């Protein structure tokens, strides 16, 4: 069974750096075609794509946020970490991580974590 | 403002069919066959309904189908059921080597 779970601080101060961890099980991020993506959703608003890391360590970032984001993986720990610098109240959102396995879901994210809510205080 | 344009809302009666559009450009929807659709119920994580324009993941009802024409992708839901009431989002790969979501569409089953 494939599961993912996001973790991180529920509250951060403006200008601080947010570190979120996606811990997964049921698959290996060293398997060809495996990918993990982070997205977010501000309260009452649309989904926003943030970043993706692939089995071969390729990394992709939102064009509007790329200067603030860093994604990395620890295959031995089954974790993907997202760092976002210079947090602002507009970054208040629920952050989700999702898995893509090209063999079964092409470019789509077929399994998601439950999400973690982050509030940025000014 | 999202790069991909979706109608804010659509509605239909049980048993009817509805279509949700997702309009982009040649730099995203029109240029690649990497359009996915997600269903999201309130307070829940998104659920993949269609990937790579017109492919259904295992376990997704065949009432859901996807297509693309030019710069517009579409999600069609046939035989509407009350449980289909949710928000729907499209997402596409872009020429910026990134992905972008649409603004989302609220589906109401009357």
**Which helix H or strand E contains A4, and what residues bound it?**
strand A3-7
What would the mean pLDDT of A61-67 be, rounded to a whole number?
Answer: 96
For residue A122 the two structure tokens come to: 């000014």
Helix (H) or strand (E) segment spanning residue B105: strand B105-109
pLDDT over threshold 90, residue A101: yes
Give the pLDDT confidence score for residue B3 in this predicted structure: 82
DSSP string, B2-57: -SBB--SEEEE-TT--EEEEEE--TTTGGG-S-EEEEEE-TTS--EEEEBTTTBPP
C-alpha triplet A66, B27, A43: angle, nearest 5°:
50
Q: Is the model's pLDDT at A58 over the cut of 90?
A: yes
Q: How buried is A102 (Cβ within 10 angstroms: 0-12 exposed, 13-18 middle, 19+ buried)?
A: middle
DSSP A55: T
Per residue in A79-96, pLDDT (tens digit) is 999 999 999 999 999 999
pLDDT at A43 over 60: yes
d(CA B85, CA B76): 13
Q: What was the pLDDT predicted at B1? A: 52
The answer to whether residue A107 neighbours chain B at the CB level (below 8 Å) is yes
Pairing relationship of beta strands A116-121 and A11-13 according to DSSP bridges: parallel
Q: Which of A107, A114, A117 to mutate to test the interface with B (most CBs of B within 10 A)?
A: A107
- Chain A residues whose CB is inside 8 A of the B20 CB are none
**pLDDT at residue B2 in the model:** 62
CB A17 within 8 A of CB A85: yes
When the pLDDT of each residue in chain A is averaged and rounded to a whole number, the result is 97
Spatial contact of B81 and B14, defined as CB atoms under 8 Å apart = yes
Look at the block and give the residue holding tokens 């501000």.
Answer: A42
pLDDT, average across residues A19-35: 97
pLDDT at site B7 = 98
Q: Do B34 and A107 touch (CB under 8 A)?
A: yes
Give per-residue pLDDT as tens, B1-44: 568 999 999 999 999 999 999 999 999 999 999 999 999 999 99
Tell me the pLDDT of chain B averaged across its residues: 96
Residue B103, φ and ψ in degrees, nearest 5:
-75, -10
**Inter-chain CB proximity A47 and B38 less than 8 Å:** yes
Contact A108 B99 (CB under 8 A): no
Query: Tens of pLDDT along B33-81?
Result: 999 999 999 999 999 999 999 999 999 999 999 999 999 999 999 999 9
- Tokens read off for A67: 């200067």
Whole-angstrom Cα distance, residue B95 to residue A63? Answer: 11
The answer on pLDDT for A44 being more than 90 is yes
């Amino acid at each position: 069974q494939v599961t993912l779970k996001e973790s991180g601080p529920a509250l951060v101060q403006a200008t601080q750096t947010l570190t979120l961890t996606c811990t997964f099980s049921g698959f290996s991020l060293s398997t060809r075609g495996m990918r993990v993506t982070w997205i977010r959703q501000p309260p009452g608003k649309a989904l926003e794509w943030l970043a993706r890391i692939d089995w071969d360590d390729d990394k992709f970032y939102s064009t509007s946020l790329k200067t603030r984001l860093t994604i990395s993986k620890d295959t031995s720990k089954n974790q993907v970490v997202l760092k976002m610098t210079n947090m602002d109240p507009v970054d208040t959102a629920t952050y989700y991580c999702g898995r893509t396995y090209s063999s079964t879901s092409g470019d789509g994210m077929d399994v998601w974590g439950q999400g973690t809510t982050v509030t940025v205080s000014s | 403002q999202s790069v991909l344009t979706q109608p804010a809302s659509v509605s239909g009666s049980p048993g009817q069919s509805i279509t949700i559009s997702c309009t982009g450009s040649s730099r995203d929807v029109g240029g690649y066959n990497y359009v996915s659709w997600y269903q999201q119920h309130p307070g829940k994580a998104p659920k993949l309904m269609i990937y790579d324009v017109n492919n259904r993941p295992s376990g997704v009802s065949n009432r859901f189908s996807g297509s693309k024409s030019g710069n517009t992708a579409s999600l069609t839901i046939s035989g509407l059921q009350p449980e289909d009431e949710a928000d729907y989002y499209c997402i596409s790969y872009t020429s910026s080597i990134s992905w972008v979501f649409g603004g989302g569409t609220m589906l109401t089953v009357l």
